[in-house]
């Protein structure tokens, strides 16, 4: 039998308590210590996904964790991905491939059949690593979902993992949520907790210590640290995010239309590294009308047809078109690219019972939804500029996740880029004020992004700034996150948990 990787699992008192970032930090900390680290999350529900080099789809949180561990993202790190495509149902992606759609009740019954999928992925990853850092989902205290659990205590039992519980003090009631989460579980599961962390703390930690001391005799589970609230520019996992509401005033404003089924809004994360750029998210007609964006972005969508219907019904479509008529350039990415075209047809009823629907009409293209999903990483070269950007052999890199193909109606609508595999991507309007592309991560391309921002700056009589290296910036943010967590957490206890030598 081969070596057995050490393991540590982080679960939370609820969603968005910071599990993903704590796991990412731990991946970087342990990697810095010279260990071979692999992240793992058995089941992830998220609208932000990524395509690996071999064309498989996985959640972005595990991509971030892999980057923190300095390893290539691998779909085994997230073998089950659920992508909500309605209020009650999700697309089920197994080992990176979209298999079927299920509603919540169907999936809960089906989960018991996924044990082998999860364990095969975990065991092969563990065979390659010194340590596996495991992330739970939601809360283990969702006791109504304990049967057939494959991501929280069910997984911890299957792989015999020690568990650290994370509580979010920023929400209030952190001691109650930590105590209640643990005490709702049966004694054998309570015994798995090796400690807890208090996350997102603001203020004087001395004021918190009496509460921690009072918890000791009640829980018999040690506090492993109090992690301060830290602002880092790292991709969010899904729509449970503070990003919708956090704003700062910048000289340049990027407006993002917040679709009902928005996906991969991480395409705009890169702009957070610019202090002079503010990113705003618009959820209704009034917010678009009152805004003064320098660029309007229609992001990806998990249900393009439903989002078009909602944009029209809510009058957001009219507000978008009006902003463009007033001179605001528009970028549509993936589903957003489809939305800003003339028509979207769905002959196989992939997304709806509608055969065809009119889009916003900003690009002279037609889209036909297909049963087969395109999932691939791509490189290419810009063919036609956007605004006054000279394509000048600018290279582009990104990844595609879509269920359809879009084609220009006339020769006046030029392709945006030529891809390395010979295909053409996207479209640019004749006046170059609208561009659509299937490439997620398009703004991550340093040269293209800087050219775009400099065009906006020139229009506003703002001096061009220094070129930003996004990859280097991401690494600096990962290091900042790791430093913050390492200084706040009792790493001796963490190592003892990993070694199995922890003393309660």
3-state secondary structure 304-352: HHHHHHHHHHCCHHHHHHHHHHCCCCEEEECHHHHHCCCEEECCCCCCC
Residue percentage of the chain with pLDDT more than 70? 96
Among this protein's residues, is 223 annotated catalytic?
Answer: no
Q: Tell me the β-bridge partners of 330.
A: 296, 434
Task: Report the pLDDT value the prediction gives residue 239, as an integer from 0 to 100.
Answer: 47
- Distance, in Å, from the CA atom of 301 to the CA atom of 419, rounded to the nearest integer, reads 22
Contacts (Cβ under 8 Å, ≥6 apart) of 313? none
Tell whether the model's pLDDT for residue 238 goes beyond 70: no
Mean pLDDT of 340-369: 94
Task: Report the pLDDT value the prediction gives residue 38, as an integer from 0 to 100.
Answer: 98
Token couple for 150: 């494959």
Q: Using DSSP, state whether 378 is helix, strand or coil.
A: strand
| Confidence at 246, pLDDT banded by 50, 70, 90 | low
What domains sit in the chain, N to C, each tagged with a CATH number?
6-231+475-497 (3.40.50.300), 251-460 (3.40.50.880)
Token couple for 248: 């700062």
Mean pLDDT of 173-191: 97
What single-letter DSSP state applies at residue 461?
T
| Confidence at 244, pLDDT banded by 50, 70, 90 | low
Mean pLDDT of 269-292: 94
pLDDT, one tens digit per residue, over 27-77 is 999 999 999 999 999 999 988 899 999 999 999 999 999 999 999 999 999
Residue 504's alpha-carbon distances to 184, 359, 499, in angstroms, are 21, 61, 14
H or E segment to which residue 206 belongs: none
pTM listed for this prediction: 0.93
The closest of 43, 8, 18, 234 to 129, measured between CA atoms, is 8
Give Dmax over CA atoms of the chain in angstroms.
75
What single-letter DSSP state applies at residue 138?
S
The closest of 179, 147, 155 to 78, measured between CA atoms, is 155
Label the pairing between strands 80-84 and 89-94. Answer: antiparallel
What single-letter DSSP state applies at residue 102?
E
Given 349, 440, 468, 504, which residue is catalytic? 440
Given 23, 68, 223, 334, which residue is catalytic? 334
Give the Cβ contact number of residue 246 at 10 Å. Answer: 12
Among this protein's residues, is 68 annotated catalytic?
Answer: no
Contacts (Cβ under 8 Å, ≥6 apart) of 180? 13, 141
pLDDT, one tens digit per residue, over 294-318 is 999 999 999 999 999 999 999 999 9
Task: Report the pLDDT value the prediction gives residue 226, as an integer from 0 to 100.
Answer: 97
- Distance, in Å, from the CA atom of 196 to the CA atom of 181, rounded to the nearest integer, reads 11
Q: Using DSSP, state whether 303 is helix, strand or coil.
A: coil
């Amino acid at each position: 039998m081969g070596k057995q990787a050490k393991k540590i699992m982080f679960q939370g008192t609820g969603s968005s308590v910071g599990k993903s970032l704590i796991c990412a930090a731990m991946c970087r900390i342990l990697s810095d210590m010279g260990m071979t680290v692999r992240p793992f999350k058995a089941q992830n529900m998220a609208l932000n996904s990524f395509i690996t080099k071999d064309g498989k789809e996985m959640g972005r949180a595990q991509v971030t964790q892999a980057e923190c561990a300095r390893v290539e993202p691998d779909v085994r790190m997230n073998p089950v991905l659920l992508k909500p495509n309605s209020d009650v149902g999700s697309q089920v992606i197994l080992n990176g491939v979209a298999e079927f759609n299920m509603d919540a009740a169907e999936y809960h019954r089906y989960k018991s059949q996924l044990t082998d999928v999860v364990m095969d992925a975990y065991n092969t990853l563990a065979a390659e690593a010194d340590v596996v850092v495991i992330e739970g989902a939601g809360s283990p205290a969702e006791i109504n979902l304990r049967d057939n659990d494959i991501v929280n205590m069910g997984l911890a039992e299957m792989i015999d993992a020690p568990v650290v519980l994370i509580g979010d003090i920023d929400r209030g009631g952190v001691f109650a949520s930590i105590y209640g989460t643990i005490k709702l579980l049966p004694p054998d599961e309570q015994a798995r907790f090796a400690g807890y962390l208090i996350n997102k703390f603001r203020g004087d930690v001395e004021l918190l210590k009496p509460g921690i001391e009072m918890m000791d005799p009640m829980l018999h589970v040690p506090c492993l640290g109090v992690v301060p609230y830290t602002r880092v520019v790292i991709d969010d996992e899904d729509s449970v995010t503070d990003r919708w509401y956090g704003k700062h005033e910048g000289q340049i404003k990027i407006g993002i239309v917040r679709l009902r089924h928005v996906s991969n809004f991480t395409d705009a994360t890169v702009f957070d590294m610019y202090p002079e750029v503010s990113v705003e998210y618009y959820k209704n007609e009034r917010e678009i009308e009152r805004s003064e964006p320098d660029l309007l972005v229609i992001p990806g969508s998990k249900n393009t047809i439903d989002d078009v219907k909602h944009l029209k019904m809510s009058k957001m479509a009219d507000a978008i078109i009006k902003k463009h008529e007033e001179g605001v350039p528009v970028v549509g990415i993936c589903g957003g690219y489809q939305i800003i075209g003339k028509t979207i047809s769905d002959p196989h009823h992939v997304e709806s019972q509608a055969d065809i629907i009119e889009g916003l009409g900003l690009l002279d293209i037609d889209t036909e939804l297909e049963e087969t999903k395109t999932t691939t990483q791509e490189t290419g070269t810009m063919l036609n500029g956007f605004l006054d950007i000279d394509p000048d052999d600018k290279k582009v890199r990104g990844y595609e996740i879509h269920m359809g193909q879009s084609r220009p109606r006339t020769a006046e609508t030029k392709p945006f880029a030529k891809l390395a595999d010979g295909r053409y991507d996207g479209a640019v309007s004749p006046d170059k004020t609208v561009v659509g592309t299937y490439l997620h991560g398009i703004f991550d391309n340093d040269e293209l992004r800087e050219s775009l921002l400099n065009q906006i700056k020139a229009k506003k009589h703002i001096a061009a700034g220094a070129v930003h290296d996004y990859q280097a910036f991401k690494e600096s943010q990962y290091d900042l996150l790791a430093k913050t967590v390492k200084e706040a957490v009792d790493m001796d206890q963490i190592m003892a948990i990993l070694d199995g030598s922890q003393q309660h």
